[in-house]
Amino acid sequence: MRARLAIYCSGINVELREIILRDKPKHMLEISPKGTVPVLLLSNGDVIDESLDIMLWALNQSDPKSLLSSQYEDLIKLNDTNFKYNLDHYKYPNRYPDEDCSNAFEHAVEILKILNNEIEKNGYLISDKQTLADIAIFPFIRQFAHVDKERFSALPLPHLQKWLDAHLNSELFKAIMPKFPLWKDGDEPIHFGSYNPA
Ligand SMILES: N[C@@H](CCC(=O)N[C@@H](CS)C(=O)NCC(=O)O)C(=O)O
């Protein structure tokens, strides 16, 4: 999702192939054997298969909203390591039968408090305008909130909750969320950004 957000913001035209994880296309596994999404195949044959790298690839070429204008590394790193770890343990405890997942929610909330404080101070995570950190991190907070919406809403984190709602109600989010048809070999290409499901 965050790779799509950044590509959309950059205005770069890419072909989109929607897949399901339990039935990964052979071609995808050929170009990126680790089998995670997103995967971006460039016209020169290079492959970028980490979402943050795809975001940077897109925005380094075209960044009309100046999303790259700030220091984003520390917060994104905190999200991608510590928060993601606790999110996965909270959301999918069955995947970690040998680990104690009972504190994952609380550990994640400690990080959410940091984010809430930053948003209170700045307006957004890093500054008074949306930057790369916001669009790189909010999809993970959305996932966390969706595990148990009432539990999330009951947290004393009003700035974070408002920030999440604003992102979920944004034109940007709506633009990247249409349900794309699953890709199969031989399909006409879908050009992400100008796709209209109607
Ligand atoms: N660090 C990677 C993580 C990507 C990742 O784990 N993606 C999940 C889906 S959100 C996936 O593809 N999982 C593989 C699977 O479930 O088979 C990135 O951000 O690109």
d(CA 133, CA 142): 14
* pTM, full prediction: 0.95
DSSP type of residue 32 = -
Distance 95 CA to ligand 1 centre (A): 14
CA distances from 181 to 16, 19, 58, 139, 189 (A): 10, 9, 23, 21, 11
What domains, with CATH codes, occur in the chain?
2-66+174-192 (3.40.30.10), 73-172 (1.20.1050.10)
d(CA 14, CA 42): 9
Distance 120 CA to ligand 1 centre (A): 31
Write the pLDDT tens digit of every residue in 34-47. Answer: 999 999 999 999 99
Is residue 21 over pLDDT 90?
Answer: yes
CA distances from 154 to 73, 79, 157 (A): 29, 21, 8
Write the pLDDT tens digit of every residue in 60-102. Answer: 999 999 999 888 999 999 999 999 999 999 999 999 999 999 9
- Six-digit token pair at 126? 């890093």
User: CB of 161 closer than 6 A to ligand 1?
Assistant: no
- Six-digit token pair at 62? 């075209």
User: CB of 22 closer than 6 A to ligand 1?
Assistant: no
